[in-house]
Amino acid sequence: MSTVLSARDIRKSYGKGTARFDALDGVSLEVQAGESLAIVGKSGSGKSTLMHLLALLDTPDGGALFVKGTDADKLSVKQVTRLRNEDFGFVFQQFFLTPNASVLDNVVLPLKIAGVAARERKARGMAALAQLEMADKAKNKASNLSGGQKQRVVIARALVNNPKVIFADEPTGNLDTATGRLVEDILFSLNTEHGITLVIVTHDTELAARCDRQMFIRDGREARSLETSGASA
């Protein structure tokens, strides 16, 4: 197995002076290609902060991050943007869809950013939607969808660039249990059938248990087990 991402003693604080809060207080981990990893902990423990740093959406105040062996600090802004756009896909609880744009336009946004021509964007966007059985909704406004449908569109958007890693932050947080399980099934099939590495942030212990490996976070540090992490099902 090869390591796709590794973090060494990373730290992140928010605020300054007496208002300073250490959201991440020295965490190390390695993500292997093809695995599914759950980052588990209760609300406010630092999970999303860790995921944002791993996904190069933010920079750590201390420690080092390596992407396929390269120190992220040594990458140019352009290289980071490209990596994020081409190698990573994102699935967030809040969907982050443009409500008045069509489903297809939402899905092809990463391709537009990457400068892919309109015709190819459409073909790839439709293929991603078809994979999630949402092709018939391509022309719908994103706002006119159910929660489960919205999350499928988000997954199609995450997939459209053929990413190596999908980062999912509470991907089922806004869905009812049955719909949430379907969305989970889709994510895990991408992992097992297409070898896409999954990094899932969750406080849902059932979802975490479906992953190959769990990392528990408490108060910005790694905790040894679920009990010491304080997370609950």
| Site residues, ligand ADP (CB under 6 A) | 14-15, 21, 23, 41, 43-49
**Smallest gap, in angstroms, from Cβ of residue 113 to ligand ADP?**
23
- One-letter amino acid for residue 87 of the chain: D
Q: To the nearest whole angstrom, how small is the minimum distance from the Cβ of residue 170 to ligand ADP?
A: 8
Q: Which is nearer to ligand ADP, 49 or 131 (CB)?
A: 49
Whichever of 23 and 56 has its CB closer to ligand ADP, that residue is 23
Minimal distance, residue 103 CB to ligand ADP, in Å: 28
Residue type, 40: V
Q: 90 in helix, strand or coil?
A: strand
- Which residues, in sequence order, are bridge partners of residue 67? 5, 70
* CB 116 to ligand ADP: min, Å: 32
The 70-71 sheet, strands edge to edge: 21-32, 3-14, 62-67, 70-71
* Shortest spacing between CB 70 and ligand ADP, in angstroms: 25
Burial of 46 (0-12, 13-18, 19+ CB in 10 A): buried
Residue (88 or 92) nearer to ligand ADP, CB: 92
Long-range contacts from 67-74, C-beta under 8 angstroms, 24+ separation: 67/4, 67/5, 68/2, 68/3, 68/4, 68/5, 69/3
Cβ distance to ligand ADP smaller for residue 21 or 96: 21
> Are 142 and 102 spatial neighbours (Cβ–Cβ below 8 Å)?
yes
In the bound state with ligand ADP, the residue whose beta carbon lies nearer, of 15 and 99, is 15
Give the nearer residue to ligand ADP in terms of CB position, either 89 or 220.
220
Least distance in angstroms from the C-beta of 47 to ligand ADP:
4
In angstroms, what CA-CA distances link 57 with 49, 50, 54, 60?
Answer: 9, 10, 8, 10
